[in-house]
Chain A
Amino acid sequence: MLALIATTMLLVSCNQGGNSSNGALSSSAAEKVYVAPGEHDEFYAFVSGGFSGQLSVYGLPSGRLFKVIPVFSQDAEKAWGYNEETKPMLNTSHGFIPWDDSHHPDISQTNGELDGRFVFINGNNTPRIAKIDLSVFETTEIIEIPNSAGNHSSAFVTENTEYVVAGTRFSVPIPQRDMPINEYKGNFQGSLSFISVDPEDGGMDLSFQVLMPGFDYDLAHPGRGASHGWMFFSTYNSEESHSLMEVNASQNDKDFIAAVNWKKAEEYIKEGKFQTMPANYAHNVYDEETHTATSTMKKEVRVLDASELPGLVYLLPTPKSPHGCDVDPTGEYIVGNGKLSSDLTVHSFSKMIQAIENEKFDGEAYGIPILSFEDVLAGSVKQAGLGPLHTEFDGNGNGYTTFFISSEVVKWKVGTWEVVDRQPCYYSVGHLMIPGGNSRKPFGKYVLAMNKITKDRYLPTGPEVTQSAQLYDISGEKMELLLDFPTVGEPHYAAGIAADLVKERSKKIYNLEENKHKYATTSDANVKVERNGNEVHVYMTMIRSHFNPDNIEGIKVGDKVYFHVTNLEQDYDVPHGVSMIGANTSELLIMPGQTETFVWEPKQVGVWPFYCTDFCSALHQEMQGYVRVSPASSNIELSWSLGED
């Protein structure tokens, strides 16, 4: 082992030396990532924010940040989870949750190729799957996953986006109950959820769950081509331990990749071989016409028990607590990245099918057949580095694997399993991403490595320093490091796509005529203020450069004032913001044609101003108004105006 580390270090240091001594090389790297002012990048990269809970949108090759899409965490900048319209998006069976840990984005596919309609991403902590609509770059749907904990082997889409798949990392009592933790073994279970996606409107529905033994389900990828209809999950903790996991879950020489035949699952569902379990989970949908989200609690889920339904799941022994589980573009090879090993294990789908047909099993776990390691093995990439985590493919017969411990990306040949090249990462790389990497047709031009640690790589910013992404050119035989850029939160994983597949569909404005918000005010004629007890509703409009109304009187201390504000603009990139002094919430940032609502509960008598918070126009500073707040006992009638002396 020591010798191996030494060899790896040697290789790493050689490469470092090679890079730094070559000045000509670095100047060409600058040219390769230079996107001239006003020009567009070739690719979108959707980089998850990890513990930030959000999804960042970058351009490649420039590494420029365009937007941080709020997904699972409240975002005061965009009023996500603060305004009345989006609060329901963060509702769960545990109530309103303002944060999550967003890990694995994946782009919708048609016929195994990226179609650029949606990005799906998992919330790890309180299990959820979100859908981002790429016509608006907003989160439009979030579904909670019951019977799951640490929703990690998610959110991966099948070849025609039939399903988004979400597997539990932690096994738990299913259904949840009060029981001793040390009775884990044989009592805790895992669940693999299949969320169907409506081919027309993209609507998500938790179609069914597969109940599994109490292992940890780490990552997943779908079959494609011949293996379409199968989903592969890596597992660890086949020891079923529940404490000091770093030791106790690392005892078995081999854990498994679980191959789930979801076409078979569909047959079982059709035959009624499922159990309907009571459950409680939130389904939150944002409607683009009402500009409003609704949260519905769902009460049951269909469950298939893998122990009882033959042909549903097979276990492929895979060395050393495999982490990433990656499928090559042809669908034949399934890579298990054994994170405690120096080798990569590659399984063959066709050999797996053969072994299943010949019923050559090497035992079983809770009634699930275990195939023999040798029968399914296609080959292994030997001594490639230390701590393999994830693999992506370039579509030209090469695999690229990250090694966390030796901090590098290694390129190897699919089929011969020989290592072709290695490049260092700064430092401790986790996932890597080739645009289209989880599809039949990767765009094999760049790989983006996402690093957990940067230490001295950037100007220091106190104890907490940025994490980073590094871009490599992979168009040649050898990889070339082009760019190194800081990221938002933890750049956990990313999904990339050719910009041309997305940018033409990106909306410029919301049409006012299509605004069906309950409190929309689509013309100045409909501006009004209404009182209902101590609840006051202000139907307000905004356009360059005024609010209507901008003077309101008759509000009293103790009122609950709802500002329903509609942006009447119909011009690209003319949002307006609004905020009221003393409002215990965020600003609103309202796009043209959109309506949003904030609540203000005035506590003090006086005349209080509000103003536009987004520099909208030459007269942005004049875009302001006043609300007169009178004592609770006052008789002043509600009145409102604009432009009256």
Chain B
Amino acid sequence: MKKKAKILMLVGALLPLLLFVFPLWKITLEAPQYPTPLGMFIHINDFSDANPHDIKNINLMNHYVGMKYIPEAIPEFKIFPAGILITTFIGLLIAWKANHKWYLYWFILMVVLSSAGLYDFYLWEHDYGHDLDPKAIMKFTNPDGSVMGFQPPLFGSKDILNFTAHSYPQLGAVSLGIGMGLSLLAYLFVRKENKKLKIS
């Protein structure tokens, strides 16, 4: 059973590497004039078009309300890949050498780091949606008189003016989640096994 758990931990530690292959997140913008919605994939090291020129066209749309252009690169594109490589390395060490309790520690580490990543993503989205050009062509206010923001949702769907924005995790994020799940599972397996041994 411990061997099985070890394999689970090993696979769990490797799965986040798929983030280098598959996108982390996708934001999709639907509007009547866009029968093919505009879309942007967020990778751990890049933004990319869902269809050719989508980011350019999102920028063109957003300039009307004074939103900044989506940057070519952000610091996170360096930090996230390093984070994934380091935690994978740690995970592999744990799978190879360490006690099953370390599986749990690795899981907790990943939860903390992922949450930090999500929070960082939220901050970027907030800034992107609220830091508007004062010379914006169109200025909208909320019913309470405050300046309307155009922040896309972190998770889920939301109507923003004529657009419906969808924001959902992609295969990369799913791989990370499953990887983390496997490490927790590995920990629980061993713990259960140990309890059985103690009883018997």
Q: Is A544 an interface residue (CB 8 A)?
A: yes
A570, B56: Cβ atoms under 8 Å? yes
B194: Cβ under 8 A from any A Cβ: no
From known contacts A543-B60, A618-B64, infer whether A570 and B53 are also in contact, taking CB-CB under 8 Å: yes
- Mark out the residues of chain B between 121 and 173 whose CB falls within 8 Å of any chain A CB in the assembled complex: 137-138
Is residue B57 within 8 Å, beta carbon to beta carbon, of the partner chain? Answer: yes
B71 contacts chain A at the CB level, 8 A cutoff: no
One digit per residue, 1 when the CB lies within 8 angstroms of any chain A CB and 0 when it does not, for chain B 47-87 equals 00000110011001000100000000000000000000000
Contact A571–B57 (Cβ < 8 Å): yes
Report chain A residues within 8 Å CB of B138: 618
Does A619 count as interface, using CB distance less than 8 angstroms? Answer: yes
- Would you give the 0/1 interface string for A552-578, flagging 1 where the beta carbon is closer than 8 Å to chain B? 000000000000000001111000000
CA distance A544 to B60 in the complex (A): 7
When chains A and B are docked, how far (Å) is the Cα of A618 from the Cα of B52? 23
For the complex, give the distance between the alpha carbons of A543 and B60 in Å: 9
Residue in contact with A571 in the complex, picked from B53, B64, B137, CB distance below 8 Å: B53
Interface of A is mostly: loop
B161: min CB distance to chain A, Å: 11
Which of B36, B52, B64, B137 interacts with A570 by CB under 8 Å?
B52
Chain B residues, Cβ within 8 Å of A569: 60
- Nearest A residue to B33 by beta-carbon distance? A573
Chain B residues near A544: list those with CB within 8 A: 60
Q: A543-B60, A571-B60 are in contact. Are A619 and B137 (CB under 8 A)?
A: yes
Q: How far is the CA of A445 from the CA of B42 in the complex (A)?
A: 49
Q: CB-defined interface of A251-273 with B at 8 Å, one 1/0 digit per residue?
A: 00000000000000000000000
Task: Select the residue from A544, A569, A571, A619 with max chain B CB neighbours within 10 A.
Answer: A571
- Which chain A residues border B137 with CB–CB below 8 Å? 619
A509 to B52, CA, bound (A): 10
In the bound complex, residues from chain A placing their C-beta under 8 Å from that of B36 are: 572
CB distance from B38 to the nearest CB of A (A): 9
Distance between Cα atoms of A619 and B63 in the complex (Å): 12
Interface of B is mostly: mixed
Q: Of residues 600 to 632 in A, which have CB atoms within 8 Å of B's CB atoms?
A: 618-619
Within the complex, the shortest CB–CB distance from A215 to chain B, in Å, comes to: 55
Number of interface residues of A (CB under 8 A): 9
User: Chain B's nearest CB lies how many Å from the CB of A573?
Assistant: 9
A487 to B138, CA, bound (A): 44
CB contacts under 8 Å to A, within B18-52, are 36, 52
- Determine the distance from Cα of A141 to Cα of B83 in the docked complex, in whole angstroms: 57
Q: How far is the CB of A256 from chain B (nearest CB, A)?
A: 55
Which B residue's beta carbon lies closest to that of A622?
B137
Kindly provide the distance from the CB of A524 to the nearest chain B CB, expressed in whole angstroms: 13
Alpha-carbon gap, A543 to B138, bound state (A) = 17
Name the B residues within 8 Å of A543 (CB-CB): 60
Q: How far is the CA of A509 from the CA of B53 in the complex (A)?
A: 10
Closest A residue to B38 using CB positions:
A571
> Which residue of chain A is the closest to B135 with respect to CB atoms?
A643
Question: B71: shortest Cβ distance to chain A, in Å?
Answer: 17
Q: CA separation between A544 and B64, bound complex, in Å?
A: 9
Cα A570 to Cα B38 with chains together (Å): 13
Chain B residues lying within 8 Å of A618, measured Cβ to Cβ, are: 64, 138
Looking at the assembled complex, report how far the CB atom of A280 sits from the nearest CB atom of chain B, in whole angstroms.
45
Q: How far is the CB of A294 from chain B (nearest CB, A)?
A: 29
Q: Which residues from chain A contact B60 at a C-beta distance below 8 Å?
A: 543-544, 569, 571
Interfacial chain B residues near A509, Cβ < 8 Å = 53
Tell me the bound Cα distance from A569 to B64 in angstroms. Answer: 15
B52 contacts across to A, CB distance below 8 A: 570
The docked-state distance in angstroms from the alpha carbon of A569 to that of B60 is: 9
Taking the nearest CB of chain B, how far is it from the CB of A475, in angstroms? 31
Complex Cα spacing A484 to B92, Å: 74
**What chain A residues lie within 8 Å of B53 (beta carbons)?**
509, 570-571
User: Which of A569, A572, A619 has the most C-beta atoms of chain B within 10 angstroms of its own C-beta?
Assistant: A572
What's the Cα separation between A90 and B57 when bound, in Å?
36
B27 vs chain A, min Cβ distance (A): 17
State in angstroms the CA–CA spacing of A572 and B56 once bound together.
12
B64 contacts which chain A residues (CB < 8 A)?
A: 618-619
CA distance A644 to B23 in the complex (A): 41
A569 to B53, CA, bound (A): 9
Q: B31 → chain A, closest Cβ, in Å?
A: 12
> Nearest residue in B to A512 (C-beta to C-beta)?
B53
Q: How far is the CA of A509 from the CA of B51 in the complex (A)?
A: 13
Cα–Cα, bound, A571→B56 (Å)? 9
Q: Say how far B53's CB is from chain A's closest CB, in angstroms.
A: 4
| A572 vs B52: C-alpha distance when bound (angstroms) | 10
| Residues 396-444 of A contacting B (Cβ, < 8 Å) | none
Residues of B within 8 A of A571 (CB): 53, 56-57, 60
In the assembled complex, the CB of B140 is this many whole angstroms from the nearest CB of chain A, namely: 13
Query: A544 vs B61: C-alpha distance in the bound complex, in angstroms?
Result: 9
B193 to chain A minimum Cβ distance, whole angstroms, is: 57
A570 to B61, CA, bound (A): 12
Q: Which of B57, B60, B64, B137: most chain A CB closer than 10 A?
A: B60
Indicate with 1 or 0, residue by residue over A198-216, a CB within 8 angstroms of chain B CB atoms.
Answer: 0000000000000000000
Q: Mark A527-548, 1 if CB is under 8 A from B, else 0.
A: 0000000000000000110000
Residue-wise, chain A 563-597 has the 8 Å CB interface mask toward B (1 for contact) of 00000011110000000000000000000000000
How far, in angstroms, from A177 to B137 measured CA to CA in the complex? 68
Q: How far is the CA of A509 from the CA of B138 in the complex (A)?
A: 28
- A572 to B60: give the CA distance in the assembly, Å: 13
Query: Shortest beta-carbon distance, B136 to chain A, in Å?
Result: 12
**A509–B64 CA distance with the chains assembled, in angstroms:** 23
> Which B residues lie within 8 Å of A572 (CB)?
36
* Complex CA–CA separation, A565 to B187 (angstroms): 65
B37 vs chain A, min Cβ distance (A): 12
Kindly name the residue among B53, B56, B57 whose own CB sees the greatest number of chain A CB atoms within 10 A.
B53
Seen from chain B, the residues whose Cβ lies within 8 Å of a Cβ on chain A are 36, 52-53, 56-57, 60, 64, 137-138
Closest 3 CB pairs of A and B: A570-B53, A571-B57, A570-B56
* Residue ranges of A at the interface with B (Cβ–Cβ < 8 Å): 509, 543-544, 569-572, 618-619
17 contacts between A and B (CB under 8 A): A509-B53, A543-B60, A544-B60, A569-B60, A570-B52, A570-B53, A570-B56, A570-B57, A571-B53, A571-B56, A571-B57, A571-B60, A572-B36, A618-B64, A618-B138, A619-B64, A619-B137
